Structure 1
Amino acid sequence: MFIHEIENWTSFRWNADSLSDAIARTNRAIGYLTGRLSTIGFDSQMAATVEAVTHDVVSSSEIEGITLNTEEVRSSVARKLGVTVPDTKEPTHYVDGVVEMMLDAVMNYDTPLNHDRLFGWHAALFPTGKSGFSDIVVGRYRDESMDVVSGTFGRERVHYRAPEPERVLDEMNKFFLWFNDNKDCSIISEVCNSSSVVCMHSSV
């Protein structure tokens, strides 16, 4: 049985008390970093922001098995934030799309999430309508089944089977209602609000 096959599977609960220490440690670390940033001057703050976003973009892509050119990412981030960095390298359209999506997610974390915004991120990630050599449908939800599989041909192992395509729209609507509801995400919001301080220098 997969998680989405459990009745009321999105009704997650957690013990806030058990998370309080971890959140407090995170907030202290963010406060320390913010204090350090405030002493190094505006230009250095912006350079640090460029490096932090560049690291996030490159590391996030590696999770998907995609290796991005760090210099291209840094150049794209710097240009979009209006920062001058040495040894710039012209980024590809794909890198620009990934950076645009990441900056929107980080800088506008408190903007409600909806279908159009998500589809915009999707289009930014795949401006050519291709993933590698495969054609993909951009800007809408999938209309076919999706499995996470490993193993050689004939000996495949299914690790996860996603909800059937006819369920996706309804499940996404439920997700947006949860994600945009601050009352249900008070703990997450507390960390996000604190974490955003580090990146807010780029919005000055």
Structure 2
Amino acid sequence: MTAWLWQHKNWPNMVWQQQQLAPLLRGVYDRLGQLKGKSALVENNAEFSLDTLLANIVALSAIESEKVDVYAVRSSLARQLGINDKSPVKTDGSSEGLASLMRSAVTDLDETINLERLLNWHRWLFEHHESLIQKVEPGVLRGEAPMQIFLGLLHGRPFILKPHQEPI
């Protein structure tokens, strides 16, 4: 078994294996139905959706050791989703970018996830990011070197190595 999906012998020409995936997908759809049923019981569905999306952004940012202005991101999300925010606060490019990415991911479901869309998400994430040690050019692919992700800013060895750009 390979450590990385991109190192698999059939990458990127993977084959759908219906027999292995069907039971798993049935379970996912069953749980999705349960979740939809529970969410229908919530009185203020828009507020619930807003807080759920916000919780996802905060949790995903925490995984990357990024701190976000929760109130600014909430205001950005509310505005972009057309939800009346009872206490809007001043937003910035970073909160707008995070909100734009989340809104796009959950509302533009009919759009194809292609390189243009991925690079747009990348631009939204990094266009207003000023705390990076190494400058990231938003909305473009990295160069030929493999990407290295370090665990914390002070550790000297890579935690995750990503593939070279070519096989992607």
Superposed displacement of residue 12, structure 1: 4.0
Deviation by residue 1:47-99 (Cα, 9 ceiling, x = unmatched): 11111111111111112111212222221111111212333322221011011
The alignment partner of 1:135 has SS state of: coil
Distance 1:18 1:114 in 2: 27
The answer to whether residue 81 in structure 2 is matched with residue 84 in structure 1 is no
Q: 1:14 to 1:63 in 2, by over 3 A?
A: farther
Q: Which has the higher contact order (CA 8 A, sep 6+)?
A: 1
User: Which position in structure 2 is the counterpart of 1:112?
Assistant: 112
Larger helix fraction of residues:
1
Q: 1:158 to 1:57 in 2, by over 3 A?
A: closer
CA RMSD between the two structures: 3.1
Contact residue 147 and residue 162 of structure 1 kept, 8 A: yes
Contact residue 42 and residue 48 of structure 2 kept, 8 A: no
- TM-score normalised by length of structure 2: 0.77
Contact residue 71 and residue 89 of structure 2 kept, 8 A: yes
Contact residue 119 and residue 140 of structure 2 kept, 8 A: yes
Superposed displacement of residue 21, structure 1: 4.1
User: Which position in structure 2 is the counterpart of 1:34?
Assistant: 36
Q: Could you tell me the percent identity over the aligned residues?
A: 24
The alignment partner of 1:120 has SS state of: helix
Unaligned runs of 5+ in 1: 173-204
Contact residue 71 and residue 89 of structure 1 kept, 8 A: yes
Aligned length: 165
Unaligned runs of 5+ in 2: none
- TM-score normalised by length of structure 1: 0.65
